[in-house]
Structure 1
Amino acid sequence: MRGPSVDNIFCFIVSADCYELRDSGPCEALMPRFYWNQITKGCEVFNYGGCQGTRNNFKTMKVCLQKCHCKQPILIGECRARLISYGWNDETQKCELFFYRGCGGNTNRFFTKERCRAKCSQK
C-alpha cells in the first residue's frame, strides 16, 4: 500500500498556511507583507514585526495568491469568451465546471478538473 503523494501533502500544508490568523509577531519592525484574509477571500497587506507570527505571511502578493489561490471565489471574468474551466469551491471541497470569459477573474481557474483536484484537493 502506497502513502499519499508529495503533491497532495504540499497542497495540504499550503492550505493550512492560508487558514492561520494574521499575526504581526512581537517584534517592532514594519515590514510590509501579505496574508490571506478568509473573510474577504483575498490577499491583503499588513505590517510584519520581523519575528514569530504565523505562516500566513507572504513576502509578495504574487506568492500569497499562488499559495492560497484555491481559497479564492470562482470568478467567470469579463469579456465574451466561453472557455471551459474548473475552479475549486472551498465550501463543498470540490472542483466545479464554469465558463471563463477570457479576461479578469482570478487564479482559481484550471483548464482540467484533474489539475484543479491536484492543486486544491486536501485528500
Structure 2
Amino acid sequence: MFSLRVPDKCFLPLITGTCGSTQTRFGFYPPTQRCEEYNYSGCGGNENSFETRLDCETVCNGIPSRQIHIDTHFIILMRSEICFLPIRTGPCHTRSTRYGYFPPLRRCVRYSYGGCRGTLNNFLTEVECKQLCKGIPLRGMLHLSSFPPPPKGGKCMLRLHLKAHMVFFLSHQCSRLDTEFSFRNGSA
C-alpha cells in the first residue's frame, strides 16, 4: 500500500461551463492522473481550471490537502468499475473525440464527448482506453449474436446484469454504439 496526496480541487470534474466563448484550459483528469487540455466557455466552471499545463501540474502534484490510500486490490476494483461505467456524451456542446470501453463488443469505441457530465469511462485516446480496460473479465455478459436483429429502423436494447442493471442502447443493427446509454441501479 502507498499514499498519494493530492489537493481536493484536482478531483473536481472538468467543466466546460455555460457561456459562449471558447478558451483553452487545463485540468487534472483522475483516470489518466495527468493535467489535460479542455475547452472552457468562460463562466460556470470550478477550481479545477488552470490557464497553463504547468499551473495545473504545480497545484495537482504540489502541496497536498487530501490523502488517498491505494492498494493493488483497490486499483483492480476501480479499473473494472471504470470500464463498466456508461459512455455519456453529456449535455454540453463542445465536441471532442473520446474513447470508452463498450463491454458487449469487448472493445474501446470512439464517440463524441460534449465536454461535461461524462463518466470516468472517457479516455483521450484509444490506447489509454485499451491500457485500462483490456482483459477485464466479462462475467455475466451476453453476446450480441444471441439476440435477433430488431425490425428495420428499430433499436436493440440489451439488459445485462452485473453488479447493477446496465442498459445499453445500440443502433438498429445491434453493432454500433449510439451517442448515449444509461446506467441504472436496482431493477430495470
Bigger share in strand = 2
Deviation at 1:53, TM superposition (A): 1.1
Query: How many pairs does the alignment contain?
Result: 72
Q: Which runs of 4+ in 1 moved over 4 A?
A: none
Question: Is 1:30 the counterpart of 2:95 in the alignment?
Answer: yes
> For the residues of structure 2 that align with 1:91 and 1:14, how far apart are their CA atoms?
15
The residue that corresponds to 2:139 in the other structure is: 91
Partner of 2:109: 44
Return the letter of the residue paired with 2:119. T
Distance across 2 between alignment mates of 1:18 and 1:61: 13
Find 2:124's aligned residue among 37, 40, 59: 59
Segments of 5+ residues of structure 1 without an aligned counterpart are 72-88, 93-123
Provide the secondary structure at the position in 2 that maps to 1:47: strand
Higher gyration radius (CA): 2
Aligned to 1:11: 76
Q: Tell me if structure 1 keeps the 8 A contact 2:96–2:113.
A: yes
**What's the offset of the Cα at 1:29?**
1.1
Q: CA RMSD in A?
A: 2.0
What's the TM-score, normalizing by structure 1? Answer: 0.54
Structure that is richer in helix per residue: 1
Question: TM-score w.r.t. structure 2 length?
Answer: 0.36
Partner Cα separation in structure 1 for residue 131 and residue 111 of structure 2: 18
Unaligned 5+ segments in structure 2 are 1-69, 141-188
Which letter does structure 2 place at the counterpart of 1:15?
S
- Measure, in 1, the Cα distance between the counterparts of 2:127 and 2:76: 17
